[in-house]
Amino acid sequence: MRLRNVKYAKELIHSYPDYVVLKPKNHKGKWRDLFENKKPIQVEIGCGKGKFIYESGLYNPEKNFIGIEKFDSVIVRALEKLILEPLDNVKLIRFDATHINDIFKENEVEHLYLNFSDPWPKLRHSKRRLTSPQFLEKYHHILKDGAIIDMKTDNYALFEYSLMMFNQSDYFAIIDVSLDLYKDLPATNIQTEFEMKFVEENNAIYYIKAQHKGEIE
């Protein structure tokens, strides 16, 4: 998918360093210092235009939220939400999550959200899937013991693959699964932009909740 270039994106991003963290590696192990509180850190990989991360911060002021997105032309839309209605518990990072261990220390993250991630359907690209063994290994190092990963997708192949990867992992235990999240929708569910579109089209939303086991003997 080709993303439309937003000409002003880079300039706007650099104009709001309080919202978009420009040098995230400098804050590894010190994110609570940046937020100036001790609230738990929640991270969304692939925050897109920011509906989920913004509303999560809005409805959960007792937590800190960090949205990661690698495209300027997309993250600028999330930034616009914060400019219009600021929240002090939401930060954005323009970053490639492949290197997530460079910006978070061991046991620093308490909740991870994977919402409608790219399914990377070709086998040769499987390592890029956010639930590949390579990524689960990275999450193991940044998540606290007992931390949660919430995953939502409309792609059954990615859902099936993710179930298998979580089940095969030494680091995670699946604690909830749904083949159709909207049949018994949790009251706390917050939609993403993609989710709204898929629900309108009557597509099933698949869901996995996995818990981090912590250190393995």
What are the DSSP E strand ranges found in the chain? 20-21, 41-45, 64-69, 90-94, 109-115, 143-153, 172-178, 206-212
Parallel, antiparallel or unpaired: strands 90-94 and 64-69: parallel
Parallel, antiparallel or unpaired: strands 64-69 and 41-45: parallel
User: What residues are designated binding site for S-adenosyl-L-methionine?
Assistant: 44, 69, 96, 118
Task: Write down the catalytic residue from 102, 118, 145, 170.
Answer: 118
First to last CA, the chain: 42
User: What residues are designated binding site for substrate?
Assistant: 122, 154, 192-195
**Which of 73, 162, 148, 82 minimizes the C-alpha distance to 116?**
162
Mark whether 118 is an active-site residue: yes
CB 49 within 8 A of CB 74: yes
Residues carrying an active site annotation: 118
